[in-house]
A and B are shown apart, each in its own frame.
Chain A
Amino acid sequence: MISGSLVIATSVLYVILLFALAYWSDLMARRGQGNLLHSPLVFTLAISVYCTSWTFYGAVGSAARNGLEFLAVYLGPTLVFTGWWFGLRKLVRIGHNQRITSVADLISSRFGKSGRLAVLVTLMAVVGITPYIALQLKAIATSLRVILSGGFEPSSHVQATPLPQSLDDVGLAFAIAAAMALFSIMFGTRNVNANEQHHGVVAAIAFEAIVKFVALIAVGLFVVFSIGGGFAATFARAEDAGIMLNAQNAFGPRWLTITILSAAAIVCLPRQFQITVVENADERHLRTASWAFPLYLFGMSVFTLPIAIIGRSVLPAGADPDMFVLTLPLAFDQQGLALFAFIGGFSSATSMIIIASIALSIMISNHIVVPIALRSTKVPGQEAGSGMSRLVLTSRRISIAVVLLLGFVYFWLTAGSGALAPIGLISFAGVAQFLPAIIAALYWRDATAKGALAGLIAGFIIWGWSSFLPSFATSSEQIASLLQTGPWGIGILRPQALLGLSGLDPLVHAVFWSLLGNVIALIGVSLFTENDAMGRLQSHLFVDVFKQSTGGHARYVDSSATLDDLLYMTERVLGAEAARSLFAKLGPGAKGLETAPPTPEFISRLEKELAGSIGAASAHVVLGQVVSGESITFEEVLQMADETQKILEYSQRLEHTTEELQSTTVKLREANQQLRELDQQKDEFLSQVSHEVRTPMTAIRSFSEILLNHDDLEAGQRQRFLNTIHDESMRLTILLDEILDLSALERGETLWRNEPVEVGTALRRAIDVCTPLTNQHNLEVRQKNRAENIWVVANGDRLCQVFINLISNAAKYSDAKRPFIEIDSRVKGGELLVDFADNGPGIAPGDRDIIFDKFSRGKHDPESSHSGSGLGLAISLEILVKMGGSLKLLPSSGRGARFQVRLPLASADALPPFERA
């Protein structure tokens, strides 16, 4: 028999030890010596706050009733932690980047810093955790009663009783709740931290993790080896003890459901989120936790089933299996071990209550109290000193008290509703409603705030209806009858058989419907709504957290608020000292507290730091108020960006216009240049014409003067001079004709008719016309291929003119001993090709490019033409172009020039009727 005073004294001493540890740890952390505190081991142990009195006491009870089912509660978290690289790592990274303070903050922050979402999640968390806290109160109260009564009092909880327990029990629970509230307040709300981390608390929780682990292992070892005689012997008793190890339905829907719920809980439970994400000092710690935490769970579970088996087989039939951990040592008169076990259970309950209440109080103060306070008072913290800071602290203290009071009320109302594990599972199902929103927050870019809101509400309502409400059935007649008949007798709305889906385990039923409704609402509403600007930004920051280098975004573009103003405001929130140190940390510009306006980056960073203290939404509002006057909301920034964009576009248009102007100028300049060139060409042409005309004129004038002045000339000489005069005047005539001809061609002759022309005929005519000339120059005209009956669309006379020109050029320039011209006419590729190759001097390389220019007789050639005008080739080219053909000087292989005429063939229907067929 353990005396009550000893138990109480031990408990109080234990709490004092914890407090001292926490205080010392805080001190160490402040001195910067808390390396151990930031170790991954402490982090892992702190995560073990997952193992509450439900694990310590309730798991055994669960094993005694349902066999292996309790394992699922630990396998789910094991899966999540071994898969840390994919889920937890991202969550923790986002938590750091966005200074997330709670699960409500996470969801609100992701969905556009929505205040409504934060409030909803906070309320859901409070309601969802209430049964859980009640569970701890119940466990402490029961264990206290058990250890004080010596362990042999049969539990009165086994039978459901409709009325509350004896006043003693309720009073005890109330006293415990009050003590826990005090304890949590002392621990968790001594100050408002800049990043919402509680090093002292975490250290205490880690210590408690060791205590409960050692205590449970100690009991386990005692039970298995001292009572049971080893594992094999213990398991041999299983059947006798009535524990079904190979139940057919052991791995049915309930197994799956609990696995899912526990996996969700390890992330969604506010206290787990607090430890894993908020209190996490270093992302690297996840590595160790990924195997160490599952290992811890493994150790906590090894003895669960053996204890249940031995308890069942050794203890009297009415003994509460939830208390086996305590009653077995008592039964075998191991009072020291029993006391240790009690402290272990006590520590598992207190750690849960402390962290859960702190987490909830942060959520309540950040998402409900502060926003309301901000709305009601114009300037945050009007009272002097640490106004906002005090408000935050006060609200947190009250919140902790309220949370514990709610837990107590739930305990009171549902007293006698039964075992610990089912109560815990109700909480699990409640907080699991956050899971779809969290997953969407991390991985689904298009999830919207409205979608998240809809999903959460739907899931919460269904959970409340099908899981939370029925837990009151044992203490409320109305609720019991509601379960039986449904509201107003509507059968399909019966909480545990929605839409007539009966036959399912109530837990499976509730989880199925609530998560289904949750997910459908989330997806459905998200698909039909859009994120606002902030929501889009945040969704990017969350989903792509590993793709961006910095989370910093300047949202305050311009503000007239000075650093002084911001410091003043920050002091309101964090307290004077914390604010100053924060400003010092945030960097240059803050030192002298100049009145210069802070940079947008500074304000953004400040907002993030403040968000670590009072939540993203509140920090946004606070800063918005201070920076106000020029307070710039994100939408305004976007609008500004939009205007900037417009200005940019305008200036781009201007630039474009300028460019157009410039290009017009350039074009004009080019046109001008062209005109000038044309003008110059005209001048040159005129000059050329003048030259070309003057040359024969000179000869004519000179010889006529000679003839006039010299009567004594020989007849032959006279005759020669007259001939020259005649030739030169002919040359002059031809020149003038050709100039007019070319001018007409260039201007566009009005009477130009293209008609089918037979090439062979045209060529023969040209050769005939040239015969006197070729004879004169001894030029032999050879024909290689003869294109006969080939029709081209051309002007017959003009085509003939081209041929004559080419032949006569060969004749005029011929200088070979046996000059010849070879004409090669053929059809190739749908074109008529006529080559004129001579063995004359050819075209000097330097002249090849200008040969078709006007007056471009090979000037470089000493033997240049004396009778040509230099217009022949230019005219020929002009003619051929007008007929759709071309004239080219082919690269000559040997001596001589080789010109090629190309003309398109006439299509069949263009031919004269008699030529067709």
Chain B
Amino acid sequence: MKPDVLIVEDEPSILSSLEFILRHAGWTTRSVTDGEAALRAISMVVPRVVILDVMLPKQSGFDVLKKLRLDRNTRELPILILTAKGQQQDKRTAQGLGATGFITKPYANSEVVDAVRRLLGEAPVRGGANGKSEEDPER
């Protein structure tokens, strides 16, 4: 089954929080904890969106991004870069490499949900950028 979001994140606590909020937003997710595993997973099933941490074991997020952009199948794949460094340099690098979105840790949960939604081409639920309303679609 094709997941909506592939989460690539090595910090377990962040990974579990991301899984929680994205599933809660109604998407299916899949998680890997390093760059190689990410590439492997994508080569098998291309997700609709990738959330990619930069500081990863084995292959950094940038390396993964670069490779995905070289591959015809994933050239247009929406990729959201997560970084804990938060420097302008990283943002430029990400854009240069063809990242679709860029979010700095620590982030508000709504930032991630909004970004994913935008990348999936879905309209904001109930309008407005309110995190509460976004993250509570079933209410």
A and B touch in the complex (CB under 8 A): yes
| A interface with B by C-beta (< 8 Å) | 687, 690-691, 694-703, 705-706, 709-710, 721, 724, 727-728, 859-862, 864, 866
14 CB-based A-B contacts, threshold 8 Å: A694-B84, A694-B105, A697-B105, A698-B17, A699-B13, A699-B17, A702-B21, A702-B106, A706-B21, A710-B136, A728-B13, A859-B57, A860-B58, A861-B57
Contact A699 to B109, CB < 8 A, known contacts A691-B85, A709-B135, A859-B57:
no
By a CB distance below 8 angstroms, the chain B residues around A694 are 84-86, 105-106
| B4-27 contact mask (Cβ, 8 Å, vs A): 1 or 0 | 000000111110111011001000
* Inter-chain contact total with CB atoms closer than 8 Å: 78
By a CB distance below 8 angstroms, the chain A residues around B16 are 724
By a CB distance below 8 angstroms, the chain B residues around A859 are 57
Interface residues on B, range: 20 to 34
Asked if B114 lies at the interface with its beta carbon under 8 angstroms from chain A, I say no
Contact A864 to B10, CB < 8 A, known contacts A695-B105, A709-B131:
yes
Give bound CA distance, A700 to B13, whole Å: 9
Beyond A697-B105, A866-B11, 7 additional pairs, beta carbon < 8 A: A698-B11, A698-B105, A702-B107, A702-B109, A703-B17, A862-B34, A862-B58
Interface residues in B7-53 (C-beta closer than 8 Å to A): 10-14, 16-18, 20-21, 24, 33-34
Asked if B97 lies at the interface with its beta carbon under 8 angstroms from chain A, I say no
Asked if B55 lies at the interface with its beta carbon under 8 angstroms from chain A, I say yes
Among B10, B13, B105, which residue has its beta carbon within 8 angstroms of that of A727?
Answer: B13
Residue among A702, A860, A861 with the highest chain B CB neighbour number at 10 A: A702
Contact A701 B58 (CB under 8 A): no
Shortest CB–CB separation between residue B107 and chain A, in angstroms? 7
Among A687, A706, A727, which residue has its beta carbon within 8 angstroms of that of B20?
Answer: A706
| B interface with A by C-beta (< 8 Å) | 10-14, 16-18, 20-21, 24, 33-34, 55, 57-58, 84-87, 105-109, 131-132, 135-136
Give bound CA distance, A886 to B76, whole Å: 53
Among B12, B131, B135, which residue has its beta carbon within 8 angstroms of that of A866?
Answer: B12
Contact A698 to B85, CB < 8 A, known contacts A703-B13, A862-B33, A866-B12:
no
Give bound CA distance, A721 to B18, whole Å: 12
Residue of A nearest to B12 (CB): A866
By a CB distance below 8 angstroms, the chain A residues around B107 are 698, 701-702
By a CB distance below 8 angstroms, the chain B residues around A703 are 13, 17
By a CB distance below 8 angstroms, the chain B residues around A860 are 57-58
By a CB distance below 8 angstroms, the chain B residues around A691 are 55, 84-85
Give bound CA distance, A697 to B11, whole Å: 12
Residue of A nearest to B33 (CB): A862
Give bound CA distance, A724 to B20, whole Å: 13
Shortest CB–CB separation between residue A464 and chain B, in angstroms? 107
Residue of B nearest to A713 (CB): B20
Contact B10 A698 (CB under 8 A): no
Give bound CA distance, A709 to B109, whole Å: 10
Contact A862 to B57, CB < 8 A, known contacts A691-B85, A698-B107, A709-B135:
yes
By a CB distance below 8 angstroms, the chain B residues around A687 are 85, 87
By a CB distance below 8 angstroms, the chain A residues around B86 are 690, 694
Among A706, A727, A866, which residue has its beta carbon within 8 angstroms of that of B17?
Answer: A706
Residue among A701, A721, A861 with the highest chain B CB neighbour number at 10 A: A701
Contact B14 A695 (CB under 8 A): yes
By a CB distance below 8 angstroms, the chain A residues around B132 are 709
Residue of B nearest to A696 (CB): B13
Give bound CA distance, A864 to B58, whole Å: 11
By a CB distance below 8 angstroms, the chain A residues around B87 are 687
Contact B57 A702 (CB under 8 A): no
Contact B14 A698 (CB under 8 A): yes
Shortest CB–CB separation between residue B94 and chain A, in angstroms? 15
Shortest CB–CB separation between residue A227 and chain B, in angstroms? 129
Contact A705 to B108, CB < 8 A, known contacts A698-B84, A699-B14, A866-B11:
yes
Contact A695 B135 (CB under 8 A): no
Residue of B nearest to A723 (CB): B13
Give bound CA distance, A882 to B35, whole Å: 40
Residue of B nearest to A859 (CB): B57
By a CB distance below 8 angstroms, the chain B residues around A702 are 14, 17-18, 21, 106-107, 109
By a CB distance below 8 angstroms, the chain B residues around A862 are 33-34, 57-58
Contact A864 B17 (CB under 8 A): no
Give bound CA distance, A273 to B111, whole Å: 118
Give bound CA distance, A705 to B107, whole Å: 10
Residue of B nearest to A863 (CB): B57
By a CB distance below 8 angstroms, the chain A residues around B14 are 695, 698-699, 702
Residue of A nearest to B110 (CB): A705
Shortest CB–CB separation between residue B127 and chain A, in angstroms? 18
Give bound CA distance, A560 to B87, whole Å: 79
Contact A705 B11 (CB under 8 A): no
Contact B85 A701 (CB under 8 A): no
Contact A690 to B136, CB < 8 A, known contacts A710-B24, A727-B13, A860-B58:
no
By a CB distance below 8 angstroms, the chain A residues around B105 are 694-695, 697-698
